[in-house]
Amino acid sequence: MDKSVLINDSIDYILSHLEEPITIADVADHLSYSKYYFCRMFKDVTGESVYSFIKRVKLEQSAIDLKIKREKQISQIGLEYGYSASNYSSVFREMYDQSPIKFRKSVQANTIQNPFDSQKQEHLSSYEEYQEKIQIREVNHLFVVYKRQIGNYIELKQEWASFIAENAYYDESAILMEKYYSDPSVALEDHSICDLCFTVDKAFDAENTKQVEGGRCAVFPFQGAIEDIFSAIQGLFTIWLPQSKYQMSKKYGLNIYRNIDWEAGYVQMDICIPIK
């Protein structure tokens, strides 16, 4: 089996057990490899040690929770990711150069710094404006070919082009989608995780296939410039979701494309948040 397939499996396992005291040995056992071999293979593929990866994604997910779970005490969020109150504040400050308290206050504003343009502040819409467009509905499960991208989301346009070009079995009737695990406003630079996907028939046999779970979602129809996708998604997670009666049911979001004009930089898409 290809190394990248095994590492993707390990990352999936880690992301689905973030709120547990997961160890390197747990992940190696899941893959049925020795701890030493797995650690070396993970570093070779990702450029990051397993320990650093687990610590980083736990802190990044805790920052997302501080943003969207306003009703939860900060200490409780830290505990869910394995940190005591004092230790959580210390490691959070080490990574983000501010305390969890200051961070939570900063994300309650209706503006946010664009991580792709240091000179640009994004102005978010009101809860009512998002609520007017949101639809709560079932999203189909989709069987896809995928490529995992760990890097900067600003590179996704180029990654899409190479992903489609290198796949002879891509069909223009396929649905394109992104399954994203990271929030670029809190993820370390060049470490955001996103799966680029296009649909194929379930009979398709390849290592890099999987079923993307849909289910009940808050669906926001977006049409506009590619550069404005960041602002739309941030508004949904920063303004709409915390004030709504819903919570995320999964630790990822979906962008399902309906129309793309790469040259003009224009898209029509559904931004889908799995909810409960």
Structural domains of the chain ordered from first start:
3-107 (1.10.10.60), 133-274 (3.20.80.10)
Q: Could you tell me the two tokens for 67?
A: 């943003």
Sign of CA dihedral 187, 11, 69, 72: negative
Q: How far apart are CA 175 and CA 88, in angstroms?
A: 41
pLDDT band at 205 (very low <50, low <70, confident <90, very high): confident
Q: How far apart are CA 260 and CA 226, in angstroms?
A: 9
Q: What pLDDT score does 35 carry?
A: 94
pLDDT band at 112 (very low <50, low <70, confident <90, very high): very high
203 pLDDT above the threshold of 80: no
Q: Could you tell me the two tokens for 59?
A: 């802190």
Report the percentage of the chain scoring pLDDT > 90. Answer: 84
pLDDT band at 1 (very low <50, low <70, confident <90, very high): low
- Amino acid letter, 87: N
Q: Beta partners for 253?
A: 180
Q: What pLDDT score does 167 carry?
A: 86
pTM for the full predicted model: 0.94
Q: Beta partners for 267?
A: 224, 260
Query: Per-residue pLDDT averaged across 35-39, rounded?
Result: 94
Q: Could you tell me the two tokens for 275?
A: 């909810």
71 pLDDT above the threshold of 70: yes
Q: What pLDDT score does 99 carry?
A: 95
Report the percentage of the chain scoring pLDDT > 70. Answer: 100
Q: Could you tell me the two tokens for 136?
A: 């709560």
Q: What pLDDT score does 108 carry?
A: 87
- Match 């994203």 to its residue by tokens: 180
